[in-house]
């Protein structure tokens, strides 16, 4: 007789498959996207290489040199004069940080990148030189094995991918902890939250991907801690680590940590949160301390280097109006506009993700209590307000414009909150339909991820308006050719579908069984009028 797997191991299969799929998409982008083709990636790469060799701050670049570049307006110089730093980079890994030849020319294939690059003499300037250096360290450490600029990019990207995948893994573990009856719903929330843009950012040198993945994990952490069932000590420590690491990722990252905590307070209230922390004992105190230290370190670093430019209040009102007009473009960018904001997706992908996210929100509003509805509406309003304030007070005033990736860390928390409300409040009479619907949502995201990756490959292989089928005769292709990589792209696609199927099958109660979702029981056996809790375990 075949031995049945332990329930804890069995219930890890679906999230493990989804995590493997998301990690697979990230690695696929890492290895097939041309080097330097993410926003400011050359500057992120230089900072990572330098950080890996112990140079975490660099030297300031004189304002006269920045003005001589003639690349920045007077508004932009307000920001970059403090962010620009110069670093010492080994000559074999040294590259210019100017935009690549593909950045502003959508129909130029990536073959132009094959030309011998200009190698700067002496130190190399980076527009992100003053950014918090902590999460650049693993990227830079891997570049010690590099022997050229292309290999350096790949290894730095691998460091970024590993950090992002680790944060996604932590987020999945925290979100699913204590729940078994509605796992397809929770996994669907994660699949919708991790948009193609989040995958793209996680695959590039820099810390934008870690910021987004960390925000998702932070949202998952506070949702787990806000549930009725008490959290174990290891859950508190994991939550503290996630919040602390997220805060260290980027200059705005403490804001996302605060937003996640605000969502938790909205579910618990101040008194409830204080009671929860007190009942958590030393582990809870340690988690609070880690999150506080991470936030404080980032804020002190950012303020000491004057990365926050003063607000020009006479332009603030105009900035609010401009930001409101940019909402549709920013929403599309949150789903996916790649390259240096120059590689769009087919319209169908934007519609797909918009409908999935809106569907989760509308159903959560329909089934939630009034307190849940107020929290959902308040969270959406908070994200909108943060978007307007950041756009009007920072990015528009500094001449760079508002982009969807700047608000994406806040957006990824919303699907998680929606599925948390659904898992709590979905009526029993319709809960039987949640597993197939959620599994279908997970499967649809696999289609979107594949189309997004292929659209980006098409742009660099033959140009944005080149032939639709580009794999047979591309102008540019990654090592091995596009046909090989298309076959490999089927792996994360199939893994996502497998995660959806496994989650659906595990959610179906067998004959005479009822799945109870409050994190307190695994399975309740019903015999006549008697109820026998025969397999009670904490997840």
Which token pair is 109? 């294939």
Task: Check whether 504 has a pLDDT greater than 60.
Answer: yes
Tell me which of 134 and 7 has the higher pLDDT: 134
pLDDT tens by residue, 392-422 = 998 888 888 899 999 999 999 999 999 999 9
Tell me the domain boundaries of the chain.
Answer: 7-508, 509-539
| 58 dihedral zone (left: phi>0; alpha: psi -120 to 50; beta) | left
CB 159 within 8 A of CB 111: no
CB 312 within 8 A of CB 79: no
Instruction: Evaluate if pTM is beyond 0.85.
Output: yes
Distances (CA, A) of 487 to 23, 45, 470, 481, 514: 16, 29, 14, 11, 41
Q: What is the CA radius of gyration of the chain?
A: 24
DSSP state, residue 398: T
- Determine the pLDDT at residue 404: 92
Which token pair is 327? 């909402």
DSSP state, residue 471: S
pLDDT tens by residue, 302-338 = 999 888 778 888 889 999 999 999 999 999 999 999 9
- Determine the pLDDT at residue 520: 38
Mean pLDDT value across the chain: 89
Mode of pairing for the β-strands spanning 124-126 and 530-535: unpaired
Q: Which parts of 305-397 fold into alpha helices (H)?
A: 316-325, 327-336, 347-367, 370-390
Q: Considering only CA atoms, which of 422, 367, 512, 417 is closest in space to residue 184?
A: 422
Percent helix, strand, coil in the chain, to 5, is 65, 5, 30
pLDDT tens by residue, 215-228 = 999 999 999 999 98
Which residues, including other chains, have CB under 8 Å from residue 61's CB and lie 6 or more apart? 84, 85, 86, 125, 129
Which run of H or of E encompasses 80?
A: helix 74-83
Q: How many Å apart are CA 233 and CA 331, to the nearest integer? A: 38
- Determine the pLDDT at residue 509: 54
Residues 20-25, mean pLDDT to the nearest whole number: 98
Q: Considering only CA atoms, which of 244, 198, 199, 197 is closest in space to residue 221?
A: 244
pLDDT tens by residue, 130-171 = 999 999 999 999 999 999 999 999 999 999 999 999 999 999
- Determine the pLDDT at residue 121: 83
- Determine the pLDDT at residue 505: 87
pLDDT tens by residue, 41-69 = 999 999 999 999 999 999 999 888 888 88
Position 10 confidence tier, pLDDT thresholds 50, 70, 90: low
Helix 434-462 / helix 183-193 crossing angle, nearest 10 deg: 20
Task: Check whether 179 has a pLDDT greater than 90.
Answer: no
Q: How many Å apart are CA 117 and CA 119, to the nearest integer? A: 6
CB 446 within 8 A of CB 489: no
The proportion of the chain whose per-residue pLDDT surpasses 70, expressed as a percent, equals 91
Residues 122-132, mean pLDDT to the nearest whole number: 92
């Amino acid at each position: 007789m075949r031995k049945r797997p332990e329930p804890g191991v069995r219930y890890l299969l679906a999230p493990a498959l989804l995590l493997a799929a998301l990690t697979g998409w990230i690695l696929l982008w890492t290895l097939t996207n041309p080097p330097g083709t993410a926003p400011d990636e050359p500057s992120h790469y230089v900072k990572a290489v330098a950080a890996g060799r112990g140079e975490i701050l660099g030297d300031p670049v004189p304002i006269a040199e920045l003005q001589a570049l003639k690349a920045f307006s007077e508004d932009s110089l307000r920001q970059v004069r403090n962010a620009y730093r110069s670093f010492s980079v080994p000559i074999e890994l040294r590259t210019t940080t100017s935009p690549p030849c593909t950045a502003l020319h959508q129909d130029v294939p990536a073959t132009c990148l094959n030309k011998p690059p200009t190698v700067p003499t002496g130190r190399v300037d980076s527009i992100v030189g003053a950014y918090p250096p902590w999460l650049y360290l693993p990227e830079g450490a891997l570049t010690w094995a590099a022997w050229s600029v292309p290999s350096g990019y790949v290894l730095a990207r691998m460091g970024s991918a590993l950090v992002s995948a680790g944060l996604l893994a932590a987020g999945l573990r925290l979100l699913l902890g204590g729940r078994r009856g509605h796992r397809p719903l929770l996994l669907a929330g994660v699949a919708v939250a991790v948009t193609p843009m989040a995958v793209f950012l996680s695959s590039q040198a820099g810390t934008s991907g870690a910021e987004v993945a960390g925000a998702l994990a932070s949202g998952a952490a506070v949702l787990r801690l806000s549930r009725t069932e008490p959290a174990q000590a290891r859950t508190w420590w994991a939550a503290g680590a996630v919040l602390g690491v997220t805060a260290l990722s980027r200059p705005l990252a403490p804001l996302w940590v605060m937003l996640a905590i605000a969502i938790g307070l909205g579910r618990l209230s101040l008194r409830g949160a204080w009671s929860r922390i007190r009942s958590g004992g030393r582990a809870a105190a340690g988690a609070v301390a880690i999150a506080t230290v991470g936030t404080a370190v980032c804020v002190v670093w950012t303020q000491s280097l004057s990365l926050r430019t003063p607000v020009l209040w006479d332009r603030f009102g105009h900035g609010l109006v401009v930001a409101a007009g940019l909402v549709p473009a920013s929403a599309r960018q949150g789903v996916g506009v790649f390259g240096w904001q120059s590689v769009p997706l087919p319209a169908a992908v934007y519609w797909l993700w918009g409908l999935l996210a809106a569907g989760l929100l509308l159903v959560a509003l329909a089934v939630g209590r009034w307190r849940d509805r107020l929290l959902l509406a308040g969270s959406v309003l908070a994200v909108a307000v943060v978007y307007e304030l950041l756009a009007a007070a920072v990015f528009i005033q500094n001449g760079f414009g508002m982009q969807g990736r700047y608000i994406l860390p806040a957006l990824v928390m919303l699907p998680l909150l929606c599925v948390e409300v659904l898992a709590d409040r979905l009526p029993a009479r319709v809960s039987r339909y949640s597993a197939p619907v959620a599994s279908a949502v997970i499967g649809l995201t696999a289609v979107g991820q594949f189309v997004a990756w292929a659209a980006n490959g098409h742009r660099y292989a033959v140009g944005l308006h080149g032939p639709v089928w580009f794999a047979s005769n591309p102008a540019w292709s990654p090592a091995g050719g596009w046909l090989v990589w298309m076959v490999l792209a089927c792996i994360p696609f199939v893994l996502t579908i497998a995660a959806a199927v496994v989650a659906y099958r595990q959610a179906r109660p067998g004959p005479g069984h009822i799945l109870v979702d409050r994190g307190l029981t695994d399975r309740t056996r019903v015999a006549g009028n008697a109820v026998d809790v025969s397999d009670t375990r904490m997840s």
